[in-house]
Amino acid sequence: MIEISLTGIKTREEMIRLLDGYSLERKEELDQKKTKKGLVKSYMLETVDGFQDTATTLSDILTPFAAEFTQIDEGLYKVLDKNTGRYMGFLESFWDGRYFAFYSLELSEIIDKWIKNLVLSSPQLDHVWLSGWTFSILWEKVKDLSNQNRFTRIVFEHESIFEIDSDIDNVDEEDSIDEEERPIFERRSSKIALVDRVRLLKDKLNQFQDLYSPMYSITQLRFPSPVAKGGHDFFHFGKTTNRSESFRDHRSHVLYVLKIYRELIRKTQEIAWYSIQKVSIQKGGEFQKLVGAPLIIKFKEPLTKETFNHFITSTFERAKNRFRLWGNPIRLGPQKVHIYGVDKHLWQPIFLEITDKHIVAIIPKGTCGNTVHRLVSNIQIYLDPAAEITLGEKSYKEIANEAAKGITYE
């Protein structure tokens, strides 16, 4: 296998030609079921708002991770892993550097872990999180944009990892474990993939979800390409795999979803930061007031005592956790805790009340709206896929629906 070198790429047009040609070759291999190299993948990332100097921001983000970048065009960079001396891909910034897309040709088993470590190494960086409710809105876009006879793919995934006490967050999901050595856990676990024509799935999703609640937890969705064969697979943690023959169309889809997400973040922060609601909390013997709209997550069914305790232990008593939160739980009852914690993305404060029936989170002004979507996404996948979610006086799905209105695919 001949490796593709990114060293000689000096301009945006050279990058596009490389990735376009590479995508066409991989699509031909996919059609023949003989894939020899990794597909083109994009990772949607976000950082703090307000940075005007993108280069300085990137230096702050990448330097601690032993990576460096070389600018090849306005808002476009090559990223080198200094540990290996290998270019891992291209990083493109959008909208004053608040959002990024990282394009890579590396195999998923390599680049997924590399991006994950990049995010964990910097409090300024986070994945773009697409919850099951957000995917429901994106599914409406697939129906509107696609030829009804094209094939799509929807993946539903729910795993109740907190039904037992396991140190699962300290094990990389990508790690290869022999089947005979894989531990057996008796807990609820569902992963369903539907591949069919858009017209046949068009009116079925709500029926499926009413019958089986884990199908609210959509973790992957394919947009059929309108200009080429194949499509673009979007994952809940912001990854997108190009299974089409066109990189240009792939980038257009990434930018389309990023525009929807940017508007979703804007609306989330507007509601959370500028609500006139005031919540009194007791901290250190004194009452303090937080101004902000509560994020309320109501579980469809109360958590069992074991699930509740394992969730608290795994999330707040272990350094590595899926929710990227830190805090000391204050137990106010058998199944009620208060947490005065921080979100490890930007190290902003967050106040949480967690019981077996709900989670209430107060997001102070300055906290990234991405905190909300990471929390919702992981709750659906790992705790309760059908949880009822509201921010202030609006349902989460209503906010996502409003964010998608008026955003057009170009």
pLDDT band at 54 (very low <50, low <70, confident <90, very high): low
SS3 of the chain: helix, strand, coil, percent, to 5: 35, 30, 35
pLDDT attached to residue 285: 45
Predicted pLDDT of residue 190: 85
Q: Which residue has the tokens 């409090």?
A: 123
pLDDT tens digits along 110-140: 999 999 998 988 888 899 999 999 999 999 9
Maximum distance among all alpha carbons in the chain?
68
Band of the pLDDT at 151, cuts 50, 70, 90?
very high
- Give residue 61's pLDDT band: very low, low, confident or very high (50, 70, 90): confident
Q: Which amino acid is at 12?
A: R
pLDDT at 36 over 80: no
Q: What is the pLDDT of residue 179?
A: 44
Joined together, the tokens standing for residue 226 give 């309108």
Residue 206: per-residue pLDDT: 86
* Predicted local confidence at residue 55, as pLDDT: 65
Q: Output the CA–CA distances (angstroms, integers) from residue 354 to 177, 191, 312, in the order listed.
A: 34, 27, 9
pTM of the model: 0.90
Instruction: Tell me how far apart the alpha carbons of residues 86 and 3 are, in angstroms, rounded to a whole number.
Output: 11
Q: What is the predicted pLDDT for the residue at 276?
A: 54
Euclidean distance between CA atoms 318 and 324, whole angstroms: 10
d(CA 374, CA 357): 20
Pick the residue with more confidence: 234 or 123?
234
pLDDT band at 277 (very low <50, low <70, confident <90, very high): low
**pLDDT tens digit sequence for 248-275:** 999 999 999 999 999 999 999 998 887 6
What is the mean predicted confidence (pLDDT) over 273-285?
57
The CA-based dihedral angle spanning residues 273, 274, 275, 278, taken in that order and rounded to the nearest 10 degrees: 70
| Confidence at 156, pLDDT banded by 50, 70, 90 | very high
- The winner for highest mean pLDDT among 31-40, 49-58, 142-151, 199-208 is 142-151
Give me the mean pLDDT over the 39-50 stretch. Answer: 88
Residues 245-268: b if buried by 16+ CB within 10 A, e if exposed: bbbebbbbbbbbbbbbbbbbbebb
Averaged pLDDT score across all residues of the chain: 86
Segment 348-360 shows an average pLDDT of 93
> In which element (H, E) is residue 118 found?
helix 108-121
pLDDT at 289: 60
- Structural domains of the chain, with CATH: 12-126 (3.30.310), 132-271 (no CATH), 273-403 (3.30.310)
What CA dihedral angle connects 372, 376, 377 and 381, to 10 degrees?
160
SS3 per residue for 175-239: CCCCCCCCCCCCCCEEEEEEEEEHHHHCCCHHHHHHHCHHHHCEEEEEEECCCCCCEEEEECCCE
Q: Is the pLDDT of residue 410 over 90?
A: no
Who wins on pLDDT, 52 or 42?
42
